Amino acid sequence: MNLYIEGYRSQNKKLVEILTAAAYWYCAKLLGIRMVNSSNLDVDIKMTKSLKQKENVYGYCHIIGSLSRPREFCIELDGSIEHDMEQILTWLAHEFVHLRQFFRIELYDYEDGTTQWKTKRYKINSRSHLDSPWEKEAYRLENKLADEFMESYYE
């Protein structure tokens, strides 16, 4: 995996060190060690100040390469100073679950605003988005992944 970390607070060496370790750990857990060692996966983590205020979310995962065989991704996270490391690591875990969903082509966003999850296509609005099966999976796994990472990192 080729990993790039940029944006707000990216000059904070401790933050970048922990995000780097977490990204590789989440990748190994969700995609397998082979993808960690592969140069065919690019992940750009972009820290954005006040993303929650601007977009009403704490994070996004976007495909930035081929939609038919996604291997290039941008994860954008709210890097505002008031958020502690545990929150940021939890959001990163959540977005890595989405990265895995896109990578495996379980999740696909269409230009007409519909989203395909596995074999079913959904028309999602902002209210039903949190109830979608791909979000439920990400929320179900985010704390478990973040807790396991922090336990292994800080031991």
pLDDT, average across residues 26-38: 96
Neighbours of 88 (CB within 10 A): 23
The contacts found for 56-65 with CB under 8 angstroms, 24 or more apart, are 58/83, 58/87, 58/91, 59/91, 59/92, 59/94, 59/95, 60/95, 61/95, 61/96, 61/98, 61/99, 61/102, 63/102
**Residue with the two structure tokens 């750009």:** 44
Question: Do residues 55 and 78 lie in contact, with contact meaning Cβ atoms separated by under 8 Å?
Answer: no
pLDDT 10s digits, 117-149: 999 999 987 667 888 999 999 999 999 999 999
pLDDT, average across residues 50-79: 93
pTM given for the model: 0.94
> Can you give the residue range of the structural domain that contains 36?
2-154
Predicted confidence at residue 128, as pLDDT, reads: 74
Predicted confidence at residue 126, as pLDDT, reads: 66
Predicted confidence at residue 65, as pLDDT, reads: 84
What SS3 class is residue 85?
helix
Whichever domain contains 61, its CATH number is: 3.40.390
Cα–Cα distance between 44 and 153 in angstroms, integer?
22
What SS3 class is residue 2?
strand
Predicted confidence at residue 113, as pLDDT, reads: 86
Predicted confidence at residue 154, as pLDDT, reads: 86
What SS3 class is residue 53?
helix
Q: What percent of the chain has pLDDT over 70?
A: 99
pLDDT 10s digits, 92-112: 999 999 999 999 999 998 889
Q: Report the number of distinct structural domains present in the chain.
A: 1
